[in-house]
Amino acid sequence: MERPTVSILPWVIGLVVAGLTVSAVASLALDPSAGDGAATLVAGFGVQMVAVAVVCVLLAHHSLAFRRTRFDFLWLLFGVLPIGSLLLAIPAILSDPVYFDATSPPGFWSTLALHAVLILVGALFGPLLWFFILMPVSQLVGGVVALARGEKPPVFRFVTPIVMLALAAFILLGAGALDLGAALPGRFAAPQIVLAMLGLPGSYVVASPLLLWVCRGILLALLVAFLGSWWARRREAHAG
């Protein structure tokens, strides 16, 4: 039996309109230098990332429902939204050329190019936001709804998203807890993270002791959950 085909174009139109509205407010109404450029980050990186992540949610929903999705929305998501956000960045740059180091034509064009890169990176991070945050949250909500209906969803429907959210929290909080600027990039940074988690000396700098302890707690909880699951399966195997 052929799967039905659906279109998410109306949803994407709403996303693009909302995204451009947020970009317009962040670019035109907010101080671009406030919060170390938070408005610029939201207008470029954040809007594109969230839009792509929400589209991933819609695609996954229809895929699980055995429905095919028409890709007639791509020109909006990867054309209208990024170009519109980039155009909205122009008045923001011109309003504070000193902050953006755009007092000369080369500086202006290089700043605009950096905005374009920021938007591109936001689009690339969209699937990660969906995978680590939105998908686990939707699974948890679905499990809670199933319980409310009197159903008995499998345990993994709750365990898996909780583990995914814990990993996301560990990564995000760890980025704020440690300053690895003194460590070498790439594979050399990993040992510094391990040393920090164990409280051993290294070339890292603790930016937030509280966040570091929270990360240690998350890591400990994940290890306990993993070992508990392994022990339970081992006992079941021996009992069988």
User: Any idea what the Cα angle at residue 55 is, between residues 92 and 8, rounded to 5°?
Assistant: 115
CB 68, CB 4: distance < 8 Å: yes
CB 98, CB 52: distance < 8 Å: no
DSSP string, 184-219: PSGGGHHHHHHHHHHT---S-EES-HHHHHHHHHHH
Pairing of strands 68-70, 5-7: parallel
DSSP string, 108-145: HHHHHHHHHHHHHHHHHHHHHHIIIIIHHHHHHHHHHH
Where do the structural domains in the chain lie, given as residue ranges?
1-153, 154-239
What's phi and psi for 68, nearest 5 deg? -85, 145
Q: What residue type is 36 in one-letter code?
A: D
Work out the widest C-alpha separation in the chain, in whole angstroms.
Answer: 76
pLDDT (tens, 9 = 90+) of the chain, 240 residues, equals 567 888 899 999 999 999 999 999 998 888 887 777 788 889 989 999 999 999 999 998 888 777 888 898 999 999 999 999 999 999 989 988 888 888 898 989 999 999 999 999 999 999 999 998 999 998 888 888 888 888 888 777 788 888 889 988 988 888 888 876 655 554 456 777 888 888 888 878 888 999 999 999 999 988 887 887 778 777 777 775
